[in-house]
Amino acid sequence: MEPPSGPASRRHVPWSRLLLAVSLLTFWTPPTTAQPTIETVPPLAAEGSDVLLLVRNVSENPLGYGWYRGERVENTQLIASYRVDTNATTNGPVYSRRETLYPNGTLLIRNVTQKDTGSYTLLVTKKDLQTERQTGHLHIHPVLSTPVIISNNSNPREHEDTVVLTCGAETQNTSYMWWINNQSLPNSTRLELSEDKRTLTVFNVTRNDTGPYVCEARNPVSVSRSDPFTLNVVYPVAKPSLQASNTTITEHEGPVVLTCLTDETGVSIRWFFKGQSLLLAQRMTLSSDNSTLTIDPVSREDTGDYQCEAFNRGNSNRSNPLRLHVKYQLTPESSSDLSVGAIVGIVIGAVAGVALIAALGYFVYTKTIRNRCPGRNRSS
C-alpha cells in the first residue's frame, strides 16, 4: 500500500534542499564555544633556544593537525601534518628537520634562528571534516654579544676636538645605557646622547673626560656590558724640573739621586744624558714610575748634563740640563803612563825643534857667506 502523501511529504527532505545545506556547510563552520589558541613557550624566545607553539582548546577527538608557515593554508608552506587515527606524521616542503609535531597538536622548533621569526598557522581537521584554524606569531631575539665602544678620534686634543663614542653594532629592539667613571652620565651641556642612546658625543673634550666609559646593550632576552674604554686626551705638558741629591761627588762614592718633578698627571717620564737617550748601566736604577734615577756607585763616565722629559701621546717637555761633576784621582798606573807619554812628546818636540833651528841656522849662514864674497863667486 502506498503511504499517505501528506505525512510522507513532511518526513522527507527534498534532495535539492539537502544539496544546498551541504554546500552551505562547506563554506560556513558553525561557531564553537572555544576556539583553538596558540601560546609561545617561552614567550620571549632567544636565538639558539627551543620554542614550543603550544596548542590549547582543541576540539575533542580531532582527525588531524597541520602546521603551515605564514598566515595562509597552502601546501607549499606545509611544515608537517599529523593524523590521529594512524599516528602518522607527514613532513611538508618547508620542514627543516628541527620541527616535531606532537599528538596534541603542539609544534616544537629546536635551535631557533632569527629567520624563524614570523607567523605560523595551525589547521585542525575534525572527524566531520570541518576545520578550525588559528595563527600564532613567533619573534626570535638575538643574544647580544659584548658591545665594543668605538671612538671617532683616538687622540683628541683638549679644548679643541669633539669625540663621538658608539656602543657596538646596531641591532633591532635594543636599548642602550652609558656610564662614566662607574657612574651615570652627569648633566652637562658637553654631553649628548643620540635618540636611541647608542651614540654618546663629548664636545670640546678636557683631560677630565678621560673616563673610563662603559655602555650596556639590552634586549628582551639578554643584557651585555662593554669593557671599560679610556679616552686618551692630548693636552700640553708643563716643563718638569730636575733635582739632585748632590751635583759634585767623588768617583766610586754614592749614591746620587736625580728626581724629575712634575705636577702633570697621566704623563710618562724618560731620561737623557748629554742630549741623548740615557742608556742604563748596571750601576743605575729607575723607580717604578721612572721619576727617580739612582746612580750607585758613581763613575767618572757619569760626568755630564742630565735631563728628564715628561710626555703624553701628543706632547712632551724637557727639563733644563743639570750637570753632574765627578771628581777622581789619577792612579799610579795612569800617572806613570801619562809621564812616559809626556816624556815621549817632549823628546819628539825637542828633536823637531832642534832640527828646525839647525836648518834655519844653516840657511842664514850660507846666505851671509854669499853676500860677503860676491867677486869670488863671479870668478868661480
SS3 content of the chain, % helix, strand, coil (to 5): 20, 35, 45
Identify the band that residue 9 occupies on the pLDDT scale cut at 50, 70 and 90. Answer: very low
DSSP-based three-state secondary structure for 268 = strand
pLDDT of 75 reads 94
**Residue (of 190, 27, 46) closest to 117 by Cα position:** 46
pLDDT of 234 reads 86
Number of H helices, E strands in the chain: 4, 29
Range 356-375 average pLDDT: 65
CATH fold label, 37-138: Immunoglobulin-like (2.60.40)
| DSSP notation for 23-68 | HHHHH-----S---EEEEESSSEETTS-EEEEEESPPSSEEEEEEE
**Domain extents in the chain:** 37-138, 149-231, 241-327
pLDDT in tens, 78-110: 999 999 999 999 999 999 999 999 999 999 999
Percentage of the chain lying above the pLDDT 70 cut: 79
pLDDT in tens, 233-276: 888 899 999 999 999 999 999 899 999 999 888 789 999 999 99
Tracing cell 755630564 back to the chain, one arrives at 304
One-letter amino acid of 276: Q
Peptide bond into 42 cis (omega under 30): yes
Domain 149-231 CATH assignment equals 2.120.10.30: no
Identical fold for domains 149-231 and 241-327, yes or no, is yes
When the candidates are 1.20.1440.120, 2.60.40.10, 3.10.20.30, 3.10.310.10, the CATH number that belongs to 241-327 is: 2.60.40.10
Identify the band that residue 374 occupies on the pLDDT scale cut at 50, 70 and 90. Answer: low
Cut 0.75: pTM above it: no
Identify the band that residue 232 occupies on the pLDDT scale cut at 50, 70 and 90. Answer: confident
As a whole number, the mean pLDDT across the chain is: 84
Cα–Cα dist 113/140, whole Å: 7
What radius of gyration do the chain's Cα atoms show?
Answer: 50
